[in-house]
Structure 1
Amino acid sequence: MQQRGLSDAKSVAFDWVNENRRALSDWNQVIWHFAEPALREYKSAAWYVDRLSREGFKVEAGSGGMPTAFSATFENGDGPVIAAYAEYDAVPGNCQVAAARKGPRPGLSKYAAGHTDPHSALGIAALGGALAAKAAMQRHNIKGTLRFFGEPAEKLRLSKPVHAAKGYYDSIDAAISFHPTYMLPLCNTVRWDTHCGAAYVCIYSFECVEPEYWGSADASSPIPASHISARAPGANDALFTMFGLTKQLQSSMLPFTTGWSLSEAILTAGQATADNLPAHVAQIQYIWRVPDLGMAEQVLRVLDNNAEAAAKAAHCSWRRIWVSRSRPGLANHAMSKLVYDNLKRAGAPQWGDEAIASAQAIQRELGLEPMEKPYLEAIERLIEPEEAERLLRRNLPPSQVNSTSDDYTEFCWHAPTARFYVGRPMLKAPRGFHYPDWVLNALGGIPACIDPMIETAAKTIAGSICDLLTRPELLAAAKAEFAERTGGGIGGSNWISPQLPKDFRPPIDYRWPEYVTTSRGEEWWIPAAADE
């Protein structure tokens, strides 16, 4: 059925989403329940590879040396190359059942992984958009190529910098990035000038390789680790010295005039059954999110100094292992306008009776009076990109170009890119009340609550791809702006190159949270307790 104001191609694409809304919902449930953390998304990646292969894409599994990444291509003759992508990593410590109550999914610890953003819906919405555009291409014989990437470990800012460094984005003409709303006013809108900033992630590894040289040994014992000998401080001491020094100096790393953050995670090293030996290996990961690369390098200098001091104090050696280095974003107004036009045509998501009933059940569970309209008004209305930009800038200093962090920014330096957001289910709160984290996580897994966002995002992506493939003047304008902003395109005077080397080996072998299969069955790194 032809929809008013839509081209024939867009009508086919939008109809595809409508006709396949149940499939999209079911697919999201699969990925949401897999809930695999960064770099361990084995089942999720395999599901996408299988699905895309069935849909006629040529798929390279394990792209860029990342076992849970992929690069998929659908070609229909010579024409523009348009990219979209799926993310599917979940977050440790956020295991939540899809219900109006707090609790982990059956058989798992509450500290297992769960989808917070949720990336499950992000990926399925993007997949739906790509498949809907493919249907339009086939129906109307539209020439062009779709590139669909599987991007694991967004929480580590990992896969997109790796794909970029290894050349996977070099032949793209335009890219579309989608994310569920995570902060207002970025809801049912497209980023305008202020894009996400840079992020660096690295591991500091401390090793006590010569504990016997720490102090005087017991002359009567041939064992260097004798219980009555002086024992080297070891790697744990180095790690906690590093941790303390960094906390102490954090306020001195960067000026207070701009937004930035630094967070750490201690990786386990298997010391628990090592008796009286000093810890041989201890590792701590840092991620810092900053507006620009200059600030990122300043934080790095401080961290390196702290690691050197900590290692010397604890009789250890140290080394830095890079996990990722992502670039700040780059605006493209032509792309933003194009995508926002399609978001308007798709319409802001709307939540029906079943979704309202689920929200009211959550409010009752928390002891609140159920609201007749429990969802935030903002998630059901559009906001113009320029207005969202104006509101976003109210709390930022004029000199700060970028804010917050996400690695979609890598696409920005290889092709004109738009970043858009669609409202996810978020509830109104009585004055002074704050919903616990489990509420958002649960809403992301309840089909009636999350499906409206998936459908709007899929239509927006599909419509935007159709425009880029059938309206050459729009793509030409976006590419001209890209050339102007980069000072001549890729390699231009204002272009920022990938921050990882082309031969970078993704650090897939470190102690990231994961699940294992033993004689006890399938367990997460934090197993379920007997009473859970």
Structure 2
Amino acid sequence: MTSPEDSTQSLECVLPGDAKATARAWIAAHLNELTEWHTHIWELAEPAWREYQSQAWYVETLREAGFAVEDGSAGMPTAFCAEWSNGEGPTLLTYAEYDAVPGNSQAATTHEQPRAGLTRFAPGHTDPHSALGISTLAGLLATKHAMEVHNLGGRLKYTGEPAEKMHGSKVVHGLRGYYDDADAIVSFHPFYMLPLCNTARWDTHCGAYYSKVYSFVCDHPETWQLSSADPNSPIPASHSAARAPGANVALSQMYTASRTMLDSMLPATGGWSFSDAILTDGQATADNLPQRVARLQYSWRTPDVEMAEHVLAVLDRNATAAATMAHCAVEDRWVARSRPGRANHVLADVLYANLEQIGPPEYGPEAVEVGKEIQSAVGIEPMENPFLAATEQLIEPQEAERVLREQMPAWQRNWTSDDYVEMSHYAPLVRFYIARPTLAPTDDGHPYPSWAMNALGGIPSTITPTIETAGKTIAGTFLDLLQRPGLLADAKAEFDRRVDAEPMPPLLPENFTAPISLPWPDYTRNGSRDW
């Protein structure tokens, strides 16, 4: 790995035709700046659909770098689409994510502590998407620099994708045609589960993901029991009158019924999951009036669309029943409805070859000391090398596939979920992972608290190796695709074969709009919530 101190020498030694070396030297020379950029986004930590400052930073930075940027693409205020062209050539696309997760505020330090001035319930970066975005930005800008130096024709496209935690934006961008002109797409995520660490996905991509908000609305409580109305009271339902059950009762019935039926929704195999969240708007105090509105979000991950549709049918029935019981109407609003992903072996081979040239992340002495301090803080005897061994090793895509399949039923074709899958239906796509800093397990299986991993994602010495390795891998892959047109032709031919063999039309209508108006959590810098 090239250090920032060696960047000047590296730039001088680049051969004129070696575009990859030029791109890698650019990243090495700008590594300190990239790390500062990451810290800025990590500290902003804005939750889904509310990433206003993070998005504004990307828009400004890309415009300063010479990109034409559409601010608020596809009607999403915290999305963007940036483009830059160096003449005739293919269009290559990658993207940024920058949403954080409520309830995970952690300072970039070696002990548990929320970020300065914030409650622990404020958002924080967990995956971290902050590193995802800065890594792809590094690869994008390094590729642009190499294209200019070596006069390589082509077009770079970079989308800002808000609300990834709810699969919110990519389905919208896809329906609006933002991926239609891409010849290839590179999708990156920091490692989050073995064996997908320092590798590319092969056959088993992410599965289906559905997310829907049910809103129970009690607009006519006065019609619940007309005979109980007090003609002498100016309030239609006086304190002693029978009141309509209201929206909170509907929500409670829906929540209880759906949790009760969980074991009956799908077979207990296939790695599917089901989660829920209450969106807290409407009734805010314990008044005696019927609650007017209550909202419940469900999200479910399944290996295929058929399974996802069965869960949907159960939830829709439960919502109708709960609303009827509580004298409410029910409104539903899709958040996301994603198809399983498509593999592309040609692009996976190209990308992994570049990763092999660069090598896995390496953690220097400063990072090792950070890891030891965190181990000590959680009551673990510090290890000589505190990091998970796999984070500093490569694993070939085919071997990662073999290990992954050992954990799955033979019939299951997809595993877990991420909204990059929607992009894979518009153009050839490769999905790859680079290690994020992860502490090694102990002999007795002592678990690490979530704050420890979150902190490692914000400490410069531990997260910079992820950014450097991923950025160089993306740049190398892009430059191969720009200079070797046969690769793109082969990737497109494979993509077409897969589409013809298994057509999968979009699951939402073309005019679908992002649910930005729902009361998603919006934490201000002082730790309060403001909608």
Classify the TM-score, shorter chain. Answer: over 0.9
Q: In the alignment, what sits opposite 2:466? A: 453
Matched, 1:498 2:509: no
CA distance in 1, matches of 2:309, 2:446: 40
Task: Pick one of 490, 510, 516 that aligns with 1:508.
Answer: 516
CA distance in 2, matches of 1:230, 1:64: 47
Is the CA contact (8 Å cut-off) linking 1:253 and 1:299 kept in structure 2? yes
SS in 2 for 1:524: coil
CA displacement at 1:523 relative to structure 2: 4.1
Q: In the alignment, what sits opposite 2:495? A: 482
In the TM superposition, 1:159-308 aligns within 5 A as 159-215=169-225, 216-222=227-233, 223-273=235-285, 275-308=287-320
Is the CA contact (8 Å cut-off) linking 2:123 and 2:523 kept in structure 1? no
Task: Pick one of 425, 442, 457 that aligns with 2:455.
Answer: 442
The one-letter amino acid of 1:449's match is T
Q: In the alignment, what sits opposite 1:10? A: 20
Is the CA contact (8 Å cut-off) linking 1:112 and 1:526 kept in structure 2? no
CA distance in 2, matches of 1:22, 1:478: 35
Matched, 1:33 2:43: yes
SS in 1 for 2:414: coil
CA distance in 2, matches of 1:23, 1:251: 50
Moved more, 361-370 or 168-177: 361-370
CA distance in 2, matches of 1:469, 1:310: 56
Is the CA contact (8 Å cut-off) linking 1:165 and 1:499 kept in structure 2? no
In the TM superposition, 1:51-450 aligns within 5 A as 51-215=61-225, 216-222=227-233, 223-273=235-285, 275-430=287-442, 431-450=444-463
CA distance in 2, matches of 1:359, 1:87: 26
312 and 478 in structure 1: CA distance in 2 versus 1, 3 angstrom threshold: same
CA displacement at 1:4 relative to structure 2: 10
Structure 1 unaligned residues grouped into runs of 5+: 488-492, 528-532
SS in 2 for 1:288: strand
CA distance in 2, matches of 1:425, 1:101: 16
Is the CA contact (8 Å cut-off) linking 2:122 and 2:527 kept in structure 1? no
The one-letter amino acid of 1:455's match is E
CA displacement at 1:219 relative to structure 2: 3.4
CA displacement at 1:252 relative to structure 2: 1.2
251 and 389 in structure 1: CA distance in 2 versus 1, 3 angstrom threshold: same
CA distance in 2, matches of 1:412, 1:220: 63
CA distance in 2, matches of 1:429, 1:24: 30
Percent identical across equivalent pairs?
Answer: 55
CA distance in 1, matches of 2:118, 2:530: 9
CA displacement at 1:272 relative to structure 2: 2.4
Q: In the alignment, what sits opposite 1:472? A: 485
Q: In the alignment, what sits opposite 1:530? A: none
- Residues 240-290 of structure 1 show CA distances to partners (whole Å, capped at 9, x for unaligned) of 100001001111111223121110000112312362101010000011111
Is the CA contact (8 Å cut-off) linking 2:102 and 2:123 kept in structure 1? yes
Q: TM-score if structure 1 supplies the norm length?
A: 0.95
Task: Pick one of 26, 33, 51 that aligns with 1:23.
Answer: 33
SS in 2 for 1:515: coil
Is the CA contact (8 Å cut-off) linking 1:208 and 1:235 kept in structure 2? yes
CA distance in 2, matches of 1:501, 1:218: 45
CA distance in 2, matches of 1:387, 1:273: 56
Is the CA contact (8 Å cut-off) linking 2:139 and 2:474 kept in structure 1? yes
Is the CA contact (8 Å cut-off) linking 2:17 and 2:150 kept in structure 1? no
Is the CA contact (8 Å cut-off) linking 2:211 and 2:337 kept in structure 1? yes
SS in 1 for 2:309: helix
Is the CA contact (8 Å cut-off) linking 1:100 and 1:361 kept in structure 2? yes
CA distance in 2, matches of 1:43, 1:372: 40
CA displacement at 1:524 relative to structure 2: 3.0
CA distance in 2, matches of 1:36, 1:253: 34
CA RMSD after TM alignment: 1.7
Q: In the alignment, what sits opposite 1:490? A: none
201 and 306 in structure 1: CA distance in 2 versus 1, 3 angstrom threshold: same
CA distance in 1, matches of 2:31, 2:511: 41
Q: TM-score if structure 2 supplies the norm length?
A: 0.95
Number of residues paired by the alignment? 518
CA displacement at 1:317 relative to structure 2: 0.5
CA displacement at 1:500 relative to structure 2: 2.3
- Residues 113-172 of structure 1 show CA distances to partners (whole Å, capped at 9, x for unaligned) of 000000000000000000000001101111110000100000010100000011111111
CA distance in 1, matches of 2:529, 2:209: 27
SS in 1 for 2:331: strand
CA distance in 2, matches of 1:302, 1:170: 35
The one-letter amino acid of 2:110's match is A
